[in-house]
Amino acid sequence: MKVKNLVILLSCAVLMSSCGLFKKKSSKSDMTGWNYNDKNSGGYQVAKAKDQATGPGLVFVQGGTFTMGQTDEDVMSEWNNIPRRVSVPSFYIDRTEVANVHYREYLYWLNKTFDPSDPINQPIIDGAMPDTLVWRSELSYNEPMVEYYFRHPGFNYYPVVGVSWKQATDFCLWRSDRVNEGILIEKGYVNKQSLMGQQGSNNFTTKSYLLDLYQTAPGKTATSKKNELKTPQGQPRTKVTMEDGFLMPDYRLPFEAEWEYAAYGLIDQNPRPTKKEGKRGEELQSNKQIYPWSTNVNGLRDTRHGSWQGQFMANFKRGSGDNAGVAGGLNDRAFYTAEVTSFMPNGFGLYNMAGNVSEWVQDVYRPMSSLDFDDMPAPFRGNKFSKIYKNADGEAEINDTTGRVRMVDVTDAESKNRRNYQRGNVINFMDGDSISQANYGYGQTTLVSDKSRVYKGGSWNDRAYWLSPGTRRFLEEDQALSTLGFRCAMDRMGSPEGNGRKVGQQFPTKRQKR
């Protein structure tokens, strides 16, 4: 009887298989009706929709609208941060400032990849070294900080300083490549042994890998039959593309608007809506806070046990000659910088968005930026458009020294017929051109030039005024300070509300009468 039942089950299985009931379904194009990922239907490969992973060290910041600029009294009388309502798309930003140990990891990789004994590599190594002399002063003794702050393990997780805007930007590029390389190795698409063979210009960068300018041995997953990536012929594909959804966008410096928005931690400004109001709610823009750690306008954060008034929420200079308080009662418990996870995190869980060190942002400085830039999306000044260089054969190339893909500036001739922009370099957009009435003579009659970059947030040596996210200052992109560090950011792909969330309002499909 058991044998008879087994025969019947096997017969049914064969019948259903022949009818296609067990056949693996392929997604189908709504436009053509052809199957995706089917070698018998053209072989067009489409990755399953997936959310963007959160990169190492990053925190997701849901975008929104806020009033950018200084809303407290402008005691400096600079009028370079006039309040203006803008919108910021969702993005990612580092939970903490980049620390000494992180930057030393970068230098270690450079020394391992670019042999310092070769004179051609020396500018690469020297160009990345932080300027430890920023600690020196004519009228104070700071030599211990000059000698030990960057390298002593006691300062491992203190923010790196003495780093210029250019150096911070290069660090972001390096970090992007190392994270993506790590992803490919972890998923088995790149052989781990490839790490040992990287020397000089023969090193992994995300762009060179995607353009087939960097060749590496495939990992175990890439050559396995279980590899989910397929060629049009249905064979395992060893090469990962951006369309597969594994690789991350580049790390970069945050835009000024992003940094300021993240610093306020406006997630705390969303009230709990009543049933009558529904689930959407609006930001309490009328109660604009002054400092990053507060949940109300007077700057206090309460606990169940009472107010925390009197506790220092940031590392700053309270007054002339008072950087830390008195023995036995140090106020912020830090004479210079403090560890990057010190003090109260804000509503997004970000540390030291006020105090400790000021931070570089991406923007080129202009006093009237708030009046010039777009209110959406991602207000920013500093665009200089570029493209991949193509040789006479139409092929991309890598730089013989660094191994990075060679890029060239977009020319005005290429841009003149565009509707949305007419110049390749628009850093000076609206500075005395045909659509503006301003001509400031930057770099000639003022200290501001196209190399002037914005930095935000107060530092360990600043008064309380500079702790407000709306304040802004500037410095040349190739200079550095003992009070200035940085953190990285990353673009957000997909739903602005985060992973697992839909985009836009969803309504049921209505049936049409036939």
Query: Which residues on adjacent β-strands are paired with residue 359?
Result: 456, 485
Q: In this structure, what token pair is assigned to residue 411?
A: 């020319």
pLDDT value for 21 = 42
Q: What is the pLDDT of residues 334-354, one digit of tens each?
A: 778 999 999 888 889 999 999
Position 291 scores a pLDDT of 82
What SS3 state is found at 327?
coil
Buried b (16+ CB within 10 A) or exposed e, 106-126: beebbeebbeeeeeebeebee
Nearest by Cα to 469 from 252, 313, 258: 258
pLDDT in tens, 404-413: 999 999 999 9
Question: What sign does the CA torsion over 499, 503, 505, 509 have?
Answer: negative
C-alpha distances in Å from residue 108, one per residue of 116, 131, 168, 174, 246: 11, 17, 16, 12, 26
pTM for the predicted model, two decimal places: 0.86
CB under 8 Å, gap of 24 or more: what pairs does 100-105 form? 100/149, 100/150, 100/151, 100/155, 100/156, 100/157, 100/158, 100/159, 100/160, 101/156, 101/157, 102/160, 103/130, 103/150, 103/160, 103/163, 103/171, 104/150, 104/151
Q: Judging by DSSP bridges, how do beta strands 386-388 and 407-409 pair with one another? A: antiparallel
Measured CA to CA, the distance from residue 505 to residue 298 in angstroms comes to 36
Structure-token pair, residue 98 = 């980049």
Return all residues near 285 (Cβ < 8 A) that are at least 6 apart. Answer: 65, 66, 67, 85, 269
Q: Please list the ranges in the chain whose pLDDT falls under 50.
A: 16-25, 268-284, 286, 296-300, 437-438
User: What's the CA gap between 340 and 159, in Å, rounded?
Assistant: 6
Is residue 256 within 8 A of residue 378, CB to CB? The reply is no
| pLDDT at residue 47, rounded to an integer | 86
Cβ atoms 22, 16 nearer than 8 A: yes
* The total number of residues written for the chain in this structure: 514
Nearest to 64 by CA among 496, 504, 456: 496
Residue 125 backbone class (left: φ over 0; alpha: ψ -120 to 50; beta: rest): alpha
**Structure confidence at residue 495 (pLDDT):** 86
Angle between helices 100-113 and 165-186 (to 10 degrees): 70
Cis peptide before 271 (omega within 30 of 0): no
* pLDDT for residue 510: 75
| CA angle, residues 219, 224, 228, in degrees to nearest 5 | 95
Q: Give me the DSSP letters along 250-267.
A: PEEPPPHHHHHHHHHTGG
Cα dihedral across residues 75, 78, 84, 87: positive or negative:
negative
List of domains in the chain = 58-187+246-381+429-491 (3.90.1580.10)
- CA pair distance 283, 296, nearest whole angstrom: 13
